[in-house]
Amino acid sequence: MQTSPRTTEESIILIISGAISICLLPFAVIRTLNGDTAVAILNTTAVVVTLAIFFNVYLTHKIHFARWGLSLLSVLVMTITIGLKGYEQVVWVYPALTTIFFLLTPTVAAAIGTLFLINVLIMIWPQVDNFFTLKFSVSAGATLLFCYAFSSRMRRQQLFLEHMATSDPLTEVGNRRALEEVLLKTIERLRRYPEQTCSLIMLDIDHFKRINDQYGHGCGDQVLKLFAKIITSRIRRTDDLFRFGGEEFVVVLENTSLEEARTLADVLREAVASAVWPQTDLQVTLSAGAAEFNGHETAYEWLARADAAMYGAKELGRNRCHVA
C-alpha cells in the first residue's frame, strides 16, 4: 500500500501531541497516587485528548481541528491547573505559549497568548508579591514577543518560498507545479460533488519561434508577459491561469461547461489577435483546446485531451479553438 508523505505541519502536530502526552503521563500517575483527584482527572483527560489528536492526525492526515484542539487544550489545561494548584504552576506557561505559536498563525497565536497571559496574571495576582508579578510579566511577555517575532519571520519566509515554488518568474502566473496541485484538488472535489463542472483551456501562441527568431528573445519574453496579462484580464476571479511551459498556458475554469469554455476561448483568442504588441507590426495569435472534466479521468488525461484538441486547432490552420 502506498502511503502519502507527511507535511511539515503534520509532523509538528505529531511531535507536539506526542510530547504533551508523554510529559503529562507521569504527572497524571503521581497525582493519582497522591490522591490529588482534581488535577489527576485534568491531566488524564489531557493525555487522552492529546493521544486522540495524535492518532487522528497520524491516520487521517487532517490537521485543522488538531491545530486548534491542541492550542486551546494547552491554554485551558494551564489555566485550570493554576486555578487548582496556585501560582507555582506558572512555570508551565512558557511551553504552553510556545506551543500555540507552532500551531497557529502568528497574529492569532499572539492574540490568544496575550489573553492567556492577562488571565494568568489576574489569577496569580492575590497570591504573589509585586516583584514576582513583575518578573513573571516581563519574562512571559518577552517569551510572547520573541515567539511572535520568530514565527512571523518564518511565516514570511514560508509564503515567499511557496510563491517561488508555484509561480512562473517571467509571467508571474502559476507554474506547472501549481497547475498540478490545483487540478488534483479540483478532481478530488468534482469526484465528491459530481453535479459540479469544471473545464480547462490549453492555449498555445502560434509560431512563437518565428517571433523569437525575427524580433529576438527579449521581445519573445515581452510577448509572453503581455499575453499572460491579456488572458488574466479576461478571465473571472475564480478562474486561474498557469504557464504550462514555453509558450503554452492553461486556464482552469470553475463551474464551467464545455460550451461556456469554448465561448471564453474564442473571447481570449480575439483579445490576443486584436492586441497591440511591443513591435507595432507584430501579429500574435493563439490556438486553443478546451476539455470538460469527464468524471473519471486523471489530471494528466484531462490535460492530454485539451492538448489534443489544441493540436487539432493547429493542424486546421491555427488562430482557432477546438473542443475535446
Chain positions contacting ligand GTP, by CB under 6 A: 170, 204-209, 212, 217, 220-221, 224, 246-247, 314, 318
In the complex, least distance from residue 282 CB atom to ligand GTP, rounded to whole angstroms = 13
Is the Cβ of residue 152 or residue 285 nearer to ligand GTP in the bound state? 285
Are the beta carbons of 287 and 314 closer than 8 angstroms? yes
Active site residues: 247
- Cβ-closest position to ligand GTP: 220
C-alpha cell at 168: 512562473
Is the Cβ of residue 174 or residue 220 nearer to ligand GTP in the bound state? 220
CA 23 – CA 21 distance, rounded (Å): 6
> What is the number of other CB atoms lying within 10 angstroms of the CB of residue 112?
19
Q: Which own/partner pairs from 147-151 qualify as long-range (CB within 8 Å, at least 24 positions apart)?
A: 147/97, 147/98, 147/101, 147/109, 147/113, 148/101, 148/106, 148/109, 148/110, 148/113, 150/101, 151/101, 151/102, 151/106, 151/109
Are the beta carbons of 287 and 318 closer than 8 angstroms? yes
Closest CA to 51 of 93, 19, 17: 17
The four Cα atoms 204, 210, 216, 222 give a dihedral, to 10 degrees, of -20
Is the Cβ of residue 247 or residue 307 nearer to ligand GTP in the bound state? 247
Is the Cβ of residue 87 or residue 311 nearer to ligand GTP in the bound state? 311
In the complex, least distance from residue 285 CB atom to ligand GTP, rounded to whole angstroms = 9
